């Protein structure tokens, strides 16, 4: 058991510990993404409706926006949240999970962003369509 716990504090870890470390880093990155997305959608680039489930649950006061504004702002806010959360994810992985020295840092970061960027583009496009054409809530589209 001690050996298993020791693996969490070093880079050389077995497959189970490595998987758990990836999952924990992914969980933190997801939490950062959600926090940044809703903070921006609520306070900085309004993109929430009064009927949005998160607005109702947290009893937030929101700025009214048109559906056009909401769909366009959804793209911007998703991009901001992605950049921030992916950077946090990259830093945590470099610090705790990745094996250093395979690539120069900027190549490593570029590959990291390209890999996750493909999925964010597809997800954001789907969310935009859901808001623009089906008028779903920002939360459901996110």
Q: Which residues of 15-52 are buried (b: 16+ CB within 10 A; e: fewer)?
A: eebeeebeeebeeebeebbeebbbebbbeebbbbbeeb
Report the predicted TM-score, pTM, of the whole model to 2 decimal places. Answer: 0.92
Per-residue pLDDT tens digits of the chain, which is 142 residues long: 778 888 888 878 888 999 999 999 999 999 999 999 999 999 999 999 999 999 999 999 999 999 999 999 999 999 999 999 999 999 999 999 887 777 888 999 999 999 999 999 999 999 999 999 999 999 999 9
Q: The tokens of 64 are what?
A: 């009214």
| Domain extents in the chain | 14-141
Question: Which of 11, 10, 5 is CA-nearest to residue 99?
Answer: 11
Question: What is the DSSP code (8-state) at residue 50?
Answer: T
């Amino acid at each position: 058991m001690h050996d298993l716990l020791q693996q969490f504090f070093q880079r050389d870890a077995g497959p189970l510990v490595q998987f758990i470390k990836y999952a924990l880093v992914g969980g933190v990155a997801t939490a950062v993404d959600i926090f940044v997305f809703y903070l921006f959608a609520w306070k900085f680039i309004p993109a929430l409706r009064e009927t949005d489930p998160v607005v109702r649950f947290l009893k937030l006061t929101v700025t009214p926006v048109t559906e056009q504004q909401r769909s366009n702002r959804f793209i911007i806010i998703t991009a901001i949240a992605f950049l921030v959360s992916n950077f946090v994810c990259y830093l945590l992985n470099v610090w705790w999970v990745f094996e250093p020295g395979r690539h120069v840092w900027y190549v490593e970061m570029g590959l990291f962003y390209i890999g996750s960027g493909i999925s964010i583009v597809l997800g954001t496009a789907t969310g935009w369509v859901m808001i623009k054409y089906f008028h779903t809530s920002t939360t459901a589209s996110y």
